[in-house]
Amino acid sequence: MTHAAWLLALLLVSPSAADKDKEKDKKKPEAAAKAAVSAEDLVRQADEKTAAGDAAGAKELLEKAAAMPSASGDVSLRLGRLLQSTHDLDAAMDAYKSAGEKLTAAGKGEALGRLALVQETRGVPEFAATAEAAAAADKDGPFPLIALARLRAREGKGDEALALAQKATAAGGADAQAAVGRAQEARNAWAEAEAAYRAAGGADGSNLAASVGLARVLRRTGRAAEALPLLEKVIAAAPGAVDAYKESARAKIATGRGADALGDASTAAALAENDPDAARVVQEATVAKALSYVAQNQPDLAIQDLVALRDKNPDLAVAHLGLGRAYAAKRDVPAAIAELQKAVELDPSNAEAQYQLGYVQHMLKRDAAAAIGPYEKAVAAEPANVDYRVQLGAALAQANQADRAVTELTKVTSSPDYKRADAWIYLGQAQVGAKRYRDAIAALEKAGAVAPNNMQVETLLAWAYFGLKDSKNFIVHGRKAKALGQKEPTLLGYLTRIEGGEPIK
């Protein structure tokens, strides 16, 4: 190649090489700019997104920040808070676990405390261990205190739980108020628990733990129907909230919707395979579904299903309880008592089993004295259950323990929320038995205002006026009782004689 040709080639190549060098020079600042974006920068950008209401954008930025090798545990903690607020429970747990591994002292305590709260909602058995670990990391931090309070409440240590929760209220916000509610539940202080849950946002669904807690209080105080719409709202907002599915199943059982309850219970068990309480709810719902045959006047079908369940699980208290109820529906008193006694033997703390045993003794066997013991145990296990206390009062009155009956029934009638006639009737009966006739009349008139034209009310009023030797009013109420179907020979005999002019002696 000639010298001229080499020179020409050099001139042709040189501009291209120069251009490449220029392109490299342009990319260097861009690469440097990208490399310069730190986890802290992404966190700041995420904060801006959050302030602008862009939760999805904030989540994306925080996830990128948390994935960076240089990210601190605080980044994962921030991510966990955001995910928890949007009810992405599984992702929140992962973020809190990562934060707990990286952080120490107060930061670790908060991460583990928050993790415990999400685990409880999600039905994760490690909740207890996580709550203890949070307290070990920072015993005075609000979230370790909240988690530990909830754990102690579940263990039945209400006073200790309340002290922990109250200590957290200054900095723990709605979660601390919800923990106060859980502690009050453990103390059987139902009105206080309800107030705490409502203060925590339980009624509007803004706090999952508070909403589920409020629903539980409503169910256990005889208002399960009010709990169901609230639980539907929680489940719609947080489909992974196992606690909400469990409570929904129990509320549906309480309202006689056994088949529907089984669906919620099965969902809870599928979401939390290792949660023993979820497994229990499935058993409870299975029994409730079988008992739905009783409501359809087909107790034999219920007995068939429940015998199979009992034989498959001979130590399952709820199976014996359900079978006892089915036998009671058939008026097979010996079989009902045998199954219910086995249920309370297997699970002495089961309030419903104790109540059903008392009810069969009281209302079917007509042995009020034998019913008192089981009724007392039912009331001790669930003091807020009005039906249990009313039946205890009725049995005490019929067993001639008037003073005790008055004490129990007055606890019911003194509540402004009590609107039924039963407790007033039994209170009147107890006062008649104690020969406090004017007190009896006052109670029975209140019963009559709620349930007019009631044969039992008119009968007891007649006897109260008989005790006061008031012939005129005895005749008035005796005649009303007779017109309503009263056939008791002693009352009707006195009515005939006093109508004939014989004075009351």
Pick 2 or 98 by higher pLDDT. Answer: 98
The pLDDT of 419-436, averaged and rounded, is 97
Nearest to 441 by CA among 451, 449, 450, 431: 431
Q: Is 504 helix (H, G, I), strand (E, B) or coil?
A: coil
Tell me if domain 202-291 and domain 297-366 are identical in fold.
Answer: yes
For 330-370, the DSSP string reads TT-HHHHHHHHHHHHHH-TT-HHHHHHHHHIIIIIS--HHH
The pLDDT of 60-74, averaged and rounded, is 94
The pLDDT of 158-185, averaged and rounded, is 96
Q: Which residue has the tokens 């299903």?
A: 305
Q: Which pLDDT score is estimated for 37?
A: 84
Q: Tell me the pLDDT of the chain averaged across its residues.
A: 93
Whether the Cβ atoms of residue 358 and residue 378 lie closer than 8 Å to each other: yes
> Which tens digits make up the pLDDT trace of 454-498?
999 999 999 999 999 999 999 999 999 999 999 999 999 999 999
Q: Which pLDDT score is estimated for 261?
A: 98
With a cut of 70, say whether residue 8 has pLDDT above it. Answer: no
Contact residues for 230 (Cβ-Cβ < 8 A; gap 6+)? 202, 203, 205, 211, 214, 215, 218
Q: Which pLDDT score is estimated for 121?
A: 97
The band of 368, judged by pLDDT with boundaries at 50, 70 and 90, is: very high
Contact residues for 135 (Cβ-Cβ < 8 A; gap 6+)? 109, 144, 145, 147, 148
Q: Which pLDDT score is estimated for 26?
A: 54
Q: Which pLDDT score is estimated for 23?
A: 56
How far apart CA 288 and CA 322 sit, in angstroms, is: 7
How far apart CA 215 and CA 252 sit, in angstroms, is: 12
> Which tens digits make up the pLDDT trace of 443-466?
999 999 999 999 999 999 999 999
> Which tens digits make up the pLDDT trace of 388-409?
999 999 999 999 999 999 999 9
Whether the Cβ atoms of residue 73 and residue 65 lie closer than 8 Å to each other: no
> Which tens digits make up the pLDDT trace of 292-310?
999 999 999 999 999 999 9
Q: Which pLDDT score is estimated for 417?
A: 85
Torsional class of 392: left (φ above 0), alpha (ψ -120 to 50), beta (otherwise): alpha
How far apart CA 434 and CA 190 sit, in angstroms, is: 32
Backbone φ and ψ for 123, nearest 5 degrees, come out as 75, 30
The band of 356, judged by pLDDT with boundaries at 50, 70 and 90, is: very high
pTM of the model: 0.84
Q: Which residue has the tokens 């920040």?
A: 65
Tokens of 381: 């296990």
With a cut of 50, say whether residue 9 has pLDDT above it. Answer: no
The band of 22, judged by pLDDT with boundaries at 50, 70 and 90, is: low
Q: What is the percent of the chain with per-residue pLDDT over 90, rounded to a whole number? A: 89
Give a three-class secondary structure readout of 119-143: HHHHCCCCHHHHHHHHHHHCCCCHH
Pick 5 or 479 by higher pLDDT. Answer: 479
Q: In this structure, which amino acid lies at residue 436?
A: R
Q: What angle do helix axes 242-254 and 208-220 make, rounded to 10 degrees?
A: 20
How far apart CA 497 and CA 432 sit, in angstroms, is: 21
With a cut of 60, say whether residue 6 has pLDDT above it. Answer: no
Fold annotation for 297-366: 1.25.40
Q: Which residue has the tokens 């008031």?
A: 470
CATH 1.10.150.120 describes domain 202-291:
no
CB neighbours (10 Å) of residue 308? 12
> Which tens digits make up the pLDDT trace of 120-160?
999 999 999 999 999 999 999 999 999 999 999 999 999 99
> Which tens digits make up the pLDDT trace of 202-234?
999 999 999 999 999 999 998 999 999 999 999
Would you list the domain boundaries of the chain? 202-291, 297-366
> Which tens digits make up the pLDDT trace of 315-355?
999 999 999 999 999 999 999 999 999 999 999 999 999 99
Q: What is the percent of the chain with per-residue pLDDT over 70, rounded to a whole number? A: 93
How far apart CA 448 and CA 438 sit, in angstroms, is: 15
CA atoms within 13 A on the CB side of 40: 1
Q: In this structure, which amino acid lies at residue 17?
A: A
The band of 193, judged by pLDDT with boundaries at 50, 70 and 90, is: very high
